[in-house]
């Protein structure tokens, strides 16, 4: 049986192995404030309704979590933080400005051709946090909702997910992790 400490280390190795060195492609906003970041190579969907859409070979998706993107512009010496939370703390920084997440789709926050330079899994008593650092100095953080007030009738929702070419890694709620092997249904362009 794995101890929680070992599970966190395995998660760190697994996510780092999949994402390190991968090029950032784009971000997209889904249901609610769920955000997806796409990495690797662009691939087309095989479904006729999605024939003009692409995704990355690797996709990190927030689910029942808050998230924040810190971006530093060296030219203007300006730090920008975009978050889906009304108020959030990241380290010693208190963030109270809520921007529309769709601004991430403009591509203005993570420099083109940036790649994943570091992956950090932090753990609390009942959740795994994810930090992705980019070669341009940007940082994306997923902060699971530790005190979610889901009704007993509702299905548990993952804190975040990592989709790869042949797997789906579901993380949360709590410290649950599930890796599902899949068959690729897309083609690289």
Alpha helices in the chain (DSSP H): 4-19
Q: Which tokens hold the place of 4? A: 């929680």
Residue range(s) defining the domain that contains residue 45: 4-188
Q: Is 174 exposed, middle or buried (0-12, 13-18, 19+ CB in 10 A)?
A: middle
State the total domains in the chain.
Answer: 1
Contacts (Cβ under 8 Å, ≥6 apart) of 52 = none
Query: Could you list the mean pLDDT of each consecutive 10-residue stretch along the chain, which spans 189 residues?
Result: 64 91 91 88 86 90 88 74 68 56 69 93 91 94 72 75 93 89 65
pTM of the full structure = 0.83
């Amino acid at each position: 049986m794995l101890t929680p400490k070992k599970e966190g280390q395995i998660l760190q190795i697994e996510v780092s192995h999949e994402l390190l060195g991968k090029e950032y492609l784009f971000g997209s906003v889904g249901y609610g404030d769920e955000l997806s970041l796409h990495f690797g190579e662009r691939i087309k969907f095989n479904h006729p309704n999605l024939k003009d859409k692409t995704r990355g070979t690797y996709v990190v998706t927030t689910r029942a979590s808050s998230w924040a993107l810190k971006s530093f512009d060296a030219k203007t010496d300006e730090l920008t933080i975009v978050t889906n939370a009304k108020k959030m703390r990241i380290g010693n920084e208190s963030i109270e400005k809520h921007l529309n997440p769709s601004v991430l789709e403009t591509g203005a926050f993570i420099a083109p051709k940036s790649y994943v330079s570091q992956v950090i899994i932090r753990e609390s008593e009942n959740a795994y946090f994810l930090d992705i650092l980019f070669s341009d100095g940007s940082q994306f953080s997923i902060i699971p909702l530790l005190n979610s007030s889901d009704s007993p009738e509702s299905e548990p929702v993952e804190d975040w997910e990592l989709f790869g070419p042949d797997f789906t890694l579901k993380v949360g709620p709590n410290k649950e992790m599930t890796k599902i092997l899949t068959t690729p249904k897309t083609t690289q362009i």
